[in-house]
Chains A and B, each alone.
Chain A
Amino acid sequence: MIDFCGLRLANPVINASGTFDAITAGRVYGDALLAEFPFSAFVSKTITLEPRAGNAPQRIWETPAGMVNSIGLPNKGLAGFIAEDLPQLGELPAPLIVSVMATGRDDFGRMVSALDERDEVAAFELNVSCPNVHSGLIVGEQPAETLALLEALRPLTAKPLIVKLTPNVADPAAVAVAAEEGGADAVSLINTVKASGGPVTGGLSGPAIRPIAIAQVKAVAAVVGLPIVGMGGVCSGADAAEMLAAGASLVAVGTESFRDPRAGLRIAAYLSETSERSL
């Protein structure tokens, strides 16, 4: 077992937010999904205070060794999530990390407070790749905004707060330092890389961005003491091992689950075998 911010995890492989819908996958694949759940912790799709329909199509575009997406965070909103999704997600055989996003500290706080009361929620991931409506600045691009957000949220919950870092800044390590200073328990990186492909402008994911992720994980690991969830183009067990060697404590699988729904199991099995071999 692995201890990650107090969560006991069976292996270091989790999912990237927004890349696996455990409730829908359960409908498609039935009980087999729960019997062989592919992640040691489950990160929800990002929820917002109000429901969102998401962006108009076209939303995805295949690129060399990756894809560009512009999904637009479709979700049921906080109330819908608590009423409909949370009871089902609480039944998963893995701790639940809820990804939340808001355009202001008050709304962020409302969401964290409401979810803090729920036993199903083990931890929070803060999606800070959104503008603060008051300053107009993308929170995760500004160390000062990130610090202020953490200082506002930290008193509201004793559950772990994981800050999801954007790669679309000159110095992600500076934002990670601010998150640590503000009381974050962990950071996760990288989010998608700004890109355009065909008619879609949004975020690039897949193995095309893995070298960027490795570099940024190394840079962040060099300056913060927090545990790191490393992600970005991890497709294989060897990719995951490289991410762990770069300084990550956990590895998140995202786009690869689109191609192989069992990717998490395959990667965890590789890591388990290689660690046994090295003993």
Chain B
Amino acid sequence: MTAPFGRRACEVLDSHASGGYSVFSLLDREGPEPEPGQFYMLATQSHWEEAGGRPFLPRALSVADAHTEPRSRFEPHGEPKLDRGGVRLDFLIEGVGPGTDRLCELEPGENVWLNGPLGNSFSPPRELSENAAGAILVGGGIGIAPLALWRRRLAARNVPARVLLGFRDEAHSGGIDDLFACCEVALASDDGHIGHHGYVTDLLSTMLDGDDAQSAAVYACGPPPMLDAVQALCTSREVACELAMESPMACGYGACYGCAVPKGDGTYLRLCVDGPVVRA
């Protein structure tokens, strides 16, 4: 399924704070339902590039959830805009600069430029390893976002998934109630404000030491040190693993070559089209 060619204006349906993060929802009337792990390039239609010329480029955000909705649900004010519904896309975002700050302040009814869905997606456990009957999802901070959609898709296919989420501190946590309300999650925090006092990779290590470690595939998204630790744990135990990564990105569709990530053989992959999901 390819993305519609070009960016399109999508209405903001909802936007609210969620812990230290924000959650917002868009109605995409043209695009297909995204696959878990895919991302979009986003910029607001107004008040972008205003404060000293920044933000200038769109921002890459993984989609946290997606639902195809009937059109009637989006006609609170009468007139339908099109003869079809659309895909409701949920995003989790942390304000860390002019672009993400602006996206944290979205107001329902305003328009966001959307380009996507872009990039690849998570592979089912059986594709990663013949023995993998279930999944372990490991999220750190804002990186919990793509795991929410993946967990829901796995549940729909009756694939058991255990969820481990870690946060730095209370100010750098959020989205759990919005994105993982319906399922059991194990939590960790660096400062101990919630769950295990320590790293989420401590939880993963314990879980992988269990009897059924070989029967799972691990999917992780989070800050680079966390991904390095997850990769090391999985490699030492020969557990299949996919990482959803992040890299500075100008275009999202392979044009700028900015999002290079070393492959280990002296060459680079373009994370936007060869990722963002990379097999560890």
Which A positions have Cβ atoms within 8 angstroms of B? 18-21, 24-25, 27-30, 32-33, 36, 45, 53-67, 69, 71, 74, 206, 208, 255, 257-262, 265
Contacts and interface: CB of A to CB of B under 8 A. Distances in A.
Given A32-B4, A60-B258, A24 B268 contact: no
Contacts of A71: 256-258, 260
Contacts of B55: 62
A173 to B, nearest CB: 29
Given A57-B260, A60-B248, A21 B254 contact: yes
A54 B56 contact: no
B262 A56 contact: yes
Interface of B: 2-7, 43, 49, 52-58, 99, 113, 115, 118, 247-251, 253-262, 266-268, 270, 273
Contacts of A63: 53-54, 56
A206 B251 CA distance: 13
B2 A25 contact: no
Contact of A24 (B254, B266, B267): B254
Contacts of B3: 28-29
Contacts of A66: 53, 56
A212 to B, nearest CB: 15
Contacts, number: 129
A261 B248 CA distance: 18
Nearest to A71: B257
Nearest to A66: B56
A216 to B, nearest CB: 21
A66 B56 CA distance: 6
A59 B5 contact: no
Contacts of A60: 248-250, 256, 258-259
Q: Main secondary structure on chain A at its contact with chain B?
A: loop
30 contacts: A18-B257, A24-B253, A27-B254, A28-B2, A28-B254, A29-B5, A32-B4, A33-B5, A36-B5, A55-B260, A56-B262, A57-B261, A59-B248, A60-B248, A60-B258, A62-B57, A62-B250, A65-B54, A65-B56, A67-B250, A69-B250, A71-B258, A206-B56, A258-B57, A258-B250, A258-B251, A259-B43, A259-B58, A260-B113, A261-B255
Nearest to A23: B254
Given A29-B3, A59-B257, A60-B248, 8 more contacts: A18-B257, A21-B254, A33-B5, A59-B258, A59-B260, A62-B56, A69-B256, A261-B5
A57 B262 CA distance: 8
Contact of B256 (A19, A57, A58): A19
A74 B268 contact: yes
A261 B7 contact: yes
Interface centre among A18, A32, A60, A65 (most CB of B within 10 A): A60
Contact of B255 (A32, A208, A258): A258
B121 to A, nearest CB: 14
A169 to B, nearest CB: 25
Nearest to B263: A53
* B3, B255, B258, B259 — most chain A CB neighbours (10 Å): B255
B257 A74 contact: yes
A203 to B, nearest CB: 12
B250 A54 contact: no
Nearest to B253: A28
Contacts of A21: 254-255, 257
Nearest to A18: B257
A9 B3 CA distance: 28
A54 B256 CA distance: 12
Given A28-B273, A59-B258, A74-B268, A260 B6 contact: yes
